[in-house]
Structure 1
Amino acid sequence: MIVSELTVETTTIPGLLVVRMPVHGDDRGWFKENWQRAKMTALGLPDFGPVQNNISFNTRRGATRGIHAEPWDKYVGVATGRVFAAWVDLRAGDSFGATFSVEIDPGVAVFVPRGVGNSYQALEDGTAYTYLVNDHWRPGVTYPALALDDATASIPWPIPLTEADISEKDKANPTLDAVVPMQPRRTLVVGSKGQLGRALLDVLPDAHGVDLDEFDITDPAAVAAFPWSEYGTILNAAAFTAVDVAETPEGRRSSWAANAVAPALLAQAAIEHGLTLVHYSSDYVFDGTAELHDESEGFAPLGVYAQTKAAGDIAVGVAPRHYVLRTSWVVGEGRNFVRTMQSLAENGVSPSVVDDQYGRLTFTTELARATLHLLAVGAPFGTYNVTNAGPTMSWCDIAREVFVLCGRSAEDVCATDTATYGAGKDLSPRPVHSTLDLSRIEATGFVPQDAREALKAYLGL
């Protein structure tokens, strides 16, 4: 079938896509755009980042190869001749065992997702079967395979297999009932022992959590040697968050290593291995002069910690598949402002709390929920502000809210200003206004929970 325009069609196997493309010919031969990234991705083909191009030449009609489910994505077609191509889904999940077949000539190509068993039969002598893959072939890699004559798949081979040319290895492939399904690539949570890391693992029980004592993400050699082929997504919840300590000589070095060098190394790994990188940023990248910050605002960091977070954001932004979740005033399990206020309230203490810094609380459960949402809906890559919703409050407002919820009077919390609170202390400068505009993530269908409701739940009320 000759087509006049490029089209992409879905199939009975999730993610398996048929591409039909124009082939321009004259008495000299023909020409086609076999892989045209801009046009094809615009029509829904994944931007899968091929790194290797292979050609399998088939001398005789009837050469039959497969069924192999390699651990990488492929884009297959022919340079000369024709093939009957067939696929069987060998991935774990509801579509395991689903089949699809189509004849491929120069005007047809097929995108084959990782874990889908691929096979073909040459229909002409001198057929050159081509395929782009997004990972380098490595010796010793094992993956599921299926017998070409499996009764469950019931592939309608045009040339009977008894007359086909099949390798001894392919003749020994198992039937579907003996195939171990290919599992999806894992999610890696870096900084798994921190407040956010623990919240992410709570909602992603199958994820692999590592902390810096197990995997030093500031070490280029360690990052390069990590087995990235097993993973599809990195959630970087590791950070140096001691804002005031970052102003010291030792703290400055630690902050730059954790907040800037490490994200840059993870971004490099994401680029090289086609991974999705999720990184968590901070309102501190702004100077706080604007009362509401959206994702387009330029960086204006005030202190060392803020500078390192801005540098980390820039580094992560070079990875094609990245999400930067910018947040503020994070509260999770462990020591934090809310727990401190709760303890003071329960112990009869009446603190002084600054009332000239403004923002919203962000509970780690909300950050984890937003992370899952962006990944699940396939939101456009880029930066998203994520906090709990509700009115802008000062730290003093929040402290008084905690006191009231704990049975104390709001008047037991005294208001003070930042200058008075910081007198005689070596403190890093803070942005005055930290409220983040949530419009962009809301446009993806995410509904942030009100911070005051989340606060009640956090305190068990």
Structure 2
Amino acid sequence: MTEFGKALTVTETPIPGLLVVDLPVHGDSRGWFKENWQREKMVAAGLPDFGPVQNNISFNDAVGTTRGIHAEPWDKWVSVATGKIFGAWVDLRAGDTFGTVFTTEIDPSRAILVPRGVGNSYQTLEADTAYTYLVNDHWSPDAEYSFLNLADETAAIAWPIPLADVEVSAKDLAHPRLADVTPIGPKKILVLGGAGQLGLALRAALGDAEHVEYTTRETLDLRADDLATARRWRDYRAIINAAAYTAVDLAETDDGRGDAWSSNVTGVTALARIAAENGITLVHVSSDYVFDGTKAGPYTESDPVRPLGVYGQTKAAGDAVVATVPRHYIVRTSWVIGEGRNFVRTMASLAERGIAPRVVGDQIGRLTFTEDLASAILHLLSTAAPYGVYNVTGAGEPRSWADIARAVYRLTGHDPSGVTDVTTTEYFADQAGPIAPRPLNSVLDLGRIEATGWTPRDADAALETYLGASS
């Protein structure tokens, strides 16, 4: 008997992500009505906005009809239109909860959200039962599925009607026992720019896990016509865009301008479309160059962008595109130092050779080491922090490039007084070719990322560690 008048409530189960939902059902002498899926109300009640794309209905006329334990690579919202079912769910995802079992009965006043990789099975308890399920992906022969035998002794499901007395397919009876089941792995993470400074830091943090994929422009071209079908995109949880055109001076040339816009805007637009259409979280790395550097204090995430040059303009445009993706993190950073050639290593080399450099002293900011930038990105993803823009740099007292150069000289055992301050205008006065304008203030406020529980390293201390590791 359907229970009327329930409040909309969400109850967790021993299987992570498997949620039982009591539904309000309104009835009178004419029958009953319920909102089977009401996005606004249900998300507010604590359900994920899982983005269904298909609605299926299954009808069973006989009591005892039993469907096998199938785990699919999509999320499923299961409810009953009429009748009653006994449901059994077994976690078939790789991890600590593999093999965990949960059972309950479902009638029109109860539904259940089944996350990707959790095996689900149903036994009809009343004649003429129809149950409906919404899924957030379309069936594909290339998708990853897993199955468990209904009679598995480890799961030990207490079927209300013994399996010997029910209608069940021979195929479902032939599925493997739990010990022989191939677990379903987590959704994938795609790292673009896997060979760059940040890409290498992400590889160091994530390793070569099977669910992490690293690409370069040669292995994945965002401008390709077949990008939408280049991957089974529904298998991806997140895309980290660590690739960008960063030649700030070359971007001021005719050819460079086209390349900068192609990489930082056209390619990002294609990526954003993929992410939005497939429910993927897009992490996009931005730059202090979106600001003009005239603000008296640190820039916050809500400050309006005012880029000075072509590179900054393309980064600001890319940010605006990424902001349209429902699940996005725009990670704005500055003065990035990692593997390969960079300012710190150049200064260390000059110090070793006894050269006294002229270094810009009127640009102020903080160094950001790729190890920390990668850590912040993975923190945002792992904690499901609110989507939006986050500033990520080193912490501590802001420095000029000249200050940092002196610190490098001192930390490598050389005389820092050999470093001479010059203005940005003086430094570039004798250089040939187009020069991109630089923001003089690149200091970013770190309050929002800190509020998520991530603590940035002091930039001065990080510099000392970096030089120690590089020596």
Pair in the same fold by TM > 0.5:
yes
Query: How many equivalent pairs are there?
Result: 461
8 Å Cα contact 1:3/1:20 also seen in 2: no
Note the alpha carbon deviations across 1:75-104, whole angstroms, 9 max, x for none.
Answer: 111111111111000011110100001110
Hey, what does 2:455 align to over in structure 1?
447
**Which letter does structure 1 place at the counterpart of 2:464?**
K
Secondary structure at the aligned position of 1:41 is classed as: helix
Which runs of no fewer than 5 residues in structure 2 stay unpaired?
none
**Which letter does structure 1 place at the counterpart of 2:247?**
A
Q: Does 1:273 align with 2:278?
A: yes
After TM superposition, give the deviation of residue 229 of structure 1 in Å.
Answer: 3.4
Hey, what does 1:421 align to over in structure 2?
427
* Equivalent of residue 254 in structure 1, options 250, 256, 259: 259
* Equivalent of residue 289 in structure 1, options 285, 294, 297: 294
Which runs of no fewer than 5 residues in structure 1 stay unpaired?
none
* Equivalent of residue 6 in structure 2, options 4, 7, 10: 4
Alignment partners' CA distance in 2, 1:31 and 1:128: 15
Note the alpha carbon deviations across 1:209-242, whole angstroms, 9 max, x for none.
Answer: 1111111123242354223233211111000000
Alignment partners' CA distance in 2, 1:427 and 1:142: 51
Hey, what does 2:356 align to over in structure 1?
350
After TM superposition, give the deviation of residue 320 of structure 1 in Å.
Answer: 1.1
Which segment is superposed worse, 230-239 or 84-93? 230-239
Alignment partners' CA distance in 1, 2:141 and 2:54: 15
* Equivalent of residue 64 in structure 1, options 58, 66, 72: 66
**Which letter does structure 2 place at the counterpart of 1:321?**
R
8 Å Cα contact 2:376/2:454 also seen in 1: yes
Secondary structure at the aligned position of 1:145 is classed as: strand
**Which letter does structure 2 place at the counterpart of 1:232?**
R
Hey, what does 1:214 align to over in structure 2?
219
8 Å Cα contact 2:234/2:279 also seen in 1: no
After TM superposition, give the deviation of residue 436 of structure 1 in Å.
Answer: 0.4
Hey, what does 1:230 align to over in structure 2?
235
**CA distance 1:97–1:221, change in 2 (3 Å):** same
Hey, what does 1:85 align to over in structure 2?
87
After TM superposition, give the deviation of residue 18 of structure 1 in Å.
Answer: 0.5
Which segment is superposed worse, 60-69 or 37-46? 37-46
After TM superposition, give the deviation of residue 317 of structure 1 in Å.
Answer: 1.1
After TM superposition, give the deviation of residue 140 of structure 1 in Å.
Answer: 5.2
Hey, what does 2:413 align to over in structure 1?
407
8 Å Cα contact 1:56/1:128 also seen in 2: yes
Q: Does 1:382 align with 2:388?
A: yes
8 Å Cα contact 2:359/2:401 also seen in 1: yes
After TM superposition, give the deviation of residue 2 of structure 1 in Å.
Answer: 4.2
Secondary structure at the aligned position of 1:459 is classed as: helix
Hey, what does 1:396 align to over in structure 2?
402
**CA distance 1:314–1:224, change in 2 (3 Å):** farther
**Which letter does structure 1 place at the counterpart of 2:154?**
T
Which segment is superposed worse, 274-283 or 160-169? 160-169
Note the alpha carbon deviations across 1:400-419, whole angstroms, 9 max, x for none.
Answer: 11111111222100000011
Which segment is superposed worse, 83-92 or 122-131? 122-131
Alignment partners' CA distance in 2, 1:298 and 1:172: 62
Alignment partners' CA distance in 1, 2:171 and 2:277: 32
Which segment is superposed worse, 141-150 or 362-371? 141-150
Note the alpha carbon deviations across 1:145-202, whole angstroms, 9 max, x for none.
Answer: 0111111111111111112111122121111111011111121111001000000010
Q: Does 1:304 align with 2:316?
A: no
Alignment partners' CA distance in 2, 1:72 and 1:209: 23
Hey, what does 1:96 align to over in structure 2?
98
**CA distance 1:108–1:114, change in 2 (3 Å):** same
Q: How does 1:152-171 map to 2 (within 5 A)?
A: 152-171=154-173
Alignment partners' CA distance in 2, 1:106 and 1:382: 38
After TM superposition, give the deviation of residue 139 of structure 1 in Å.
Answer: 3.4
**CA distance 1:43–1:182, change in 2 (3 Å):** same
Q: Does 1:43 align with 2:45?
A: yes
Q: How does 1:11-26 map to 2 (within 5 A)?
A: 11-26=13-28
After TM superposition, give the deviation of residue 105 of structure 1 in Å.
Answer: 0.7
Alignment partners' CA distance in 2, 1:344 and 1:227: 49
Alignment partners' CA distance in 2, 1:66 and 1:217: 41
* Equivalent of residue 196 in structure 2, options 167, 189, 194: 194
Secondary structure at the aligned position of 1:457 is classed as: helix
Alignment partners' CA distance in 2, 1:139 and 1:352: 62
Secondary structure at the aligned position of 1:54 is classed as: strand
**CA distance 1:142–1:444, change in 2 (3 Å):** closer
After TM superposition, give the deviation of residue 3 of structure 1 in Å.
Answer: 4.6
After TM superposition, give the deviation of residue 355 of structure 1 in Å.
Answer: 0.8
8 Å Cα contact 1:223/1:266 also seen in 2: no
Q: Does 1:359 align with 2:359?
A: no
Hey, what does 1:460 align to over in structure 2?
468
8 Å Cα contact 2:6/2:22 also seen in 1: no
Secondary structure at the aligned position of 1:24 is classed as: strand
Hey, what does 1:316 align to over in structure 2?
322
Alignment partners' CA distance in 1, 2:378 and 2:141: 35
Alignment partners' CA distance in 2, 1:83 and 1:123: 5
Alignment partners' CA distance in 2, 1:2 and 1:152: 37
Question: Percent of aligned positions with the same letter in both sequences?
Answer: 59
Cα-Cα RMSD: 1.2
Alignment partners' CA distance in 2, 1:223 and 1:52: 20
